[in-house]
Amino acid sequence: MKKISSLLSFVLLLTACYEDKGNYDYTLDSMNEILSVTFTPSVVKAVDGDVIEVLQALEEDSRTRRVDVAVEQSHANDLDNLDFFWYRTYAGVDGKTVKDTIYSKGFLEFDLPVGQAMSYNIFLQIYDRSTDLSHYSSFKISTRPVFKNSLFVMHGSEGKRKIGNIEVIGNETKIYTDIKTVTKDNNHYENTTGFGYTTYVDIPDNLANIGVTSTLTLYADNGETRAYYPHGMNVKYTAPQMFKPEYENFSYKKTVQTGDPSNYTQYKVVLTDNGEVYSGNYVHALYKPGMGCENNPDLPHQSDYEITAATITHNRILLWDAKYGRFLYAAKGDAGYALNEASSIRSDYVSKNPLLDANVKYQGLEKSPADMTAVMGYINYRDNYSQQNPYFIFKDEATGDYYRYELLVQDIGDGSKAKRRVGSAGEEDDEEEVLSAYTIVGEKRLGGLTPTDMSTITYNSWFTTTNIFFAEGGTVYRYNVGNGDKFVVYEAPQGYEVTKIKFRNEESSAFSADLGLYLNIVMFNGTNGAVGEIKFNTAADVDNDYAPLFYDRDNEGNMWGEIKDIQFVYDYLYKSIY
């Protein structure tokens, strides 16, 4: 009786993966069993279940695709005893649901529409004729947009720039030094100078067509800035639709970005080589701070400046004006900002927030910031953002020394009454003292901070504010602001110098997982460029389980030119997918 019970239990267990077609007397040790079923391309876990991703078809000759099946069996060594039934459900050309069954042994071929998304729901039955049992698998085959979760590379000399891409798909790495070989587009990238990227859930005013939107901005001189859909490089917006107002002499320098697009708290500041500044939120559009606030005597808007560094606190943008050696600030959230893509395309824009003088005092400091060159501003916005102080790093050009200043915000309201009376009440010499929006509460000389180019000094809010990164020659260091210690985190191959370091992303969204722990490293050997990548753990130590990557050419052997900028383009739901 125990033997019968055991046999019944075993057969019941098999029903999780098998269907019994009859009542047979099995000899268990000789019965064939399907041990595993694997697919190529491989199945990945996604939000809506198991998915096999295939690259979207961009041309007619790339429409037909194939999924192969490998079956491991306990006794059989080939597929002769197996029948494969592929039950497919998908949307036809007319939008109606189509259901069909394909019989093919060990593989499935299917067609994709050119330039469009496509998805098949698959239910696979593998029937073993030797046992009359079936094994079942259920998954979805979906198109993977080109350049999904990939690194864009801007390279080549000025006026001859190209856009390349590095995309890792499973065990395969697709590298293109010119994406036009894939996209076949007619876009002009020759004068591009830098990248910007944003992804968020777009909610139109009419609440129709709510969904994730992604925009890759290619900043360029001479009004040639464009915003693109990154998976195919279709133009979404031109410079007049992006800049409020458009600036003809725009020359991109740097983007400073903080916050979380998943809860619409992401903000950015874009700096130019000539000291102009634009600000914005998670939408691609950029705005001139304080535009329209010029005639408010209570809030004296500052429009004469040369902005060279910036950071963003929990409620303000904070800027360094090199022209007058002062800090400027404005409220971060502007009622004039667009809240979705559709509302960004408008000619009218009036800022509600003027750009104000922070009136920061420099008395008692070893070195006045006004006598130095601003390098960067930064803040930890990942943890207790509202309690974090901003920092600015400056370089003394005369000595080569670097200094870091910590600022503390002062509560002076909106700035319209940022004054107080001094002197005795009623006296004729009573004066008004302008209050400071910030005070400097920390000054530190950064001994041992020795970058070849100060533009390589970098911070990411995954780490404490004592940890910054920089490049000297062919070496990347992690530098401890607290004690001046520095540690080698990467050494370039012989002959290369590191010219830029940039983390995969600079946002705090939970959906972006640990992307901020990956550091991309740009190198140049005097003739050709290269890109490397390493990963850190949350303690800012190199993750030795992640093998460093190095790319100096594409799959056809073409080399990179000198690299101007890089940008990792990632899915909004990166964590849920991977």
pLDDT the model gives residue 510: 75
Residues 492 and 474 sit within 8 Å (Cβ to Cβ): yes
pLDDT the model gives residue 14: 39
Residues 426 and 444 sit within 8 Å (Cβ to Cβ): no
Among residues 195, 198, 196, 347, which one has the least CA distance to residue 283?
198
Distance CA 578, CA 574 (A): 6
pLDDT the model gives residue 104: 92
pLDDT the model gives residue 124: 97
- Using DSSP, state whether 426 is helix, strand or coil: coil
Report which DSSP code applies to 461: T
| CA contacts within 13 A on the Cβ side of 537 | 7
CA-CA-CA-CA dihedral for 282, 286, 292, 294, to nearest 10? 110
Q: How far is CA 459 from the centre of its chain?
A: 15
Q: Average pLDDT of each block of 10 consecutive residues along the chain (578 residues)?
A: 40 43 60 94 78 82 90 94 96 89 94 85 96 95 89 96 91 92 90 93 86 92 87 89 76 91 90 93 90 77 95 95 97 86 79 91 95 96 91 97 96 63 53 84 97 97 95 98 97 98 86 89 98 96 96 97 96 61
pLDDT the model gives residue 374: 98
Distance CA 376, CA 440 (A): 16
Please state, in angstroms and as integers, the Cα–Cα distance from residue 89 to each residue in 48, 84, 121, 127, following that order: 16, 16, 5, 20
Can you point out the beta strands (E) in 177-299?
192-202, 211-220, 226-229, 234-238, 243-244, 252-258, 267-272, 277-280, 286-287
pLDDT the model gives residue 571: 83
In sequence order, what are the residues at sequence separation of 6 or more whose Cβ sits closer than 8 angstroms to the Cβ of residue 450?
A: 470, 472
pLDDT tens digits for 298-332?
A: 778 899 999 999 999 999 999 999 999 999 999 98
For the whole model, what pTM was predicted? 0.82
Distance CA 385, CA 388 (A): 5
Among residues 208, 372, 351, 226, which one has the least CA distance to residue 277?
351
Among residues 246, 243, 283, which one has the least CA distance to residue 267?
283
Among residues 311, 317, 315, 244, which one has the least CA distance to residue 283?
244
Distance CA 501, CA 63 (A): 38
Q: How far is CA 112 from the centre of its chain?
A: 29
Angle at 453 between CA 449 and CA 455, to 5 degrees: 95
pLDDT tens digits for 505-553?
A: 887 777 778 899 999 999 999 999 999 999 999 999 999 999 999 999 9
Q: Helix H segments across 287-437?
A: 341-344
For the chain, the C-alpha Rg in angstroms (whole number) is 29
